[in-house]
Homo-oligomer: A and B are copies of this chain.
């Protein structure tokens, strides 16, 4: 089983990413469940604006698109900016828009066998909203969202320290993230054994 974690931090490598640090908790647990995990920092790739799978020369998305297709599990990890998913996370969702109409050789939407989860960090309030926004978009595309397949860290009220600067609540974020990893694996196995059927056409 394969998992792809797309880190949607605004910081290019090798900048320190709080989101990567919390996503690592989920990645480690996935690996412990014998999942092969790939992590991509999306801002390092040149993901062009648009809603087609390949936006032409210089577009970094097609390679990530292929990695999504090759994985049973997708984790979108994003910081919270202005209490919302990062522009990089929205860019990733926009580029997955084309997957709604993309089908496998059985005419089934390519995301139908896949599950997805969300990891959020921020220095302030916003995580539950980000989880709903990202999950809602992924369900649209055809991903299944297992129960409690997310974790987050922030520390309100008001702006404050980041995940790597403040140890408070790390245990909660870790056990919540490990539970998310378990649920992603279990739901991916369940769907593999008993898949979603062909959608009904108009």
A169 touches B158 (CB 8 A): yes
B150 touches A153 (CB 8 A): no
How many identical subunits does the complex contain? 4
Q: Which residues of B contact A190 (CB under 8 A)?
A: 187, 190-191, 193-195
Central interface residue in A169, A190, A194, by most chain B CB within 10 Å: A190
Q: Which residues of B contact A131 (CB under 8 A)?
A: 136, 139
Is A53 part of the binding interface, using a Cβ–Cβ cutoff of 8 Å? no
Q: Which residues of B contact A143 (CB under 8 A)?
A: 147
Instruction: Identify the closest chain B residue to A139 (Cβ).
Output: B145
List residues of A (132-155) whose CB comes within 8 Å of B's CBs: 132-133, 135-137, 139-150, 152-155
- List residues of A whose CB falls within 8 A of some B CB: 10-12, 43, 49-51, 81-88, 90-91, 93-94, 96-97, 109, 111-112, 114, 124-129, 131-133, 135-137, 139-150, 152-158, 169, 171-173, 175-176, 178-179, 182-183, 186-187, 189-191, 193-197, 199-202
B83 touches A147 (CB 8 A): no
B88 touches A84 (CB 8 A): no
CA distance A43 to B82 in the complex (A): 20
Q: Could you pull out 27 A-B pairs where Cβ atoms are within 8 angstroms?
A: A10-B49, A11-B49, A81-B90, A81-B97, A82-B90, A82-B97, A82-B140, A85-B90, A87-B90, A87-B94, A90-B90, A111-B147, A112-B147, A135-B135, A135-B139, A140-B148, A144-B145, A153-B157, A155-B156, A158-B172, A158-B173, A171-B202, A175-B201, A182-B196, A186-B196, A187-B196, A193-B194
A186 touches B195 (CB 8 A): yes
Instruction: Identify the closest chain B residue to A47 (Cβ).
Output: B87
CA distance A189 to B10 in the complex (A): 37
CA distance A55 to B173 in the complex (A): 31
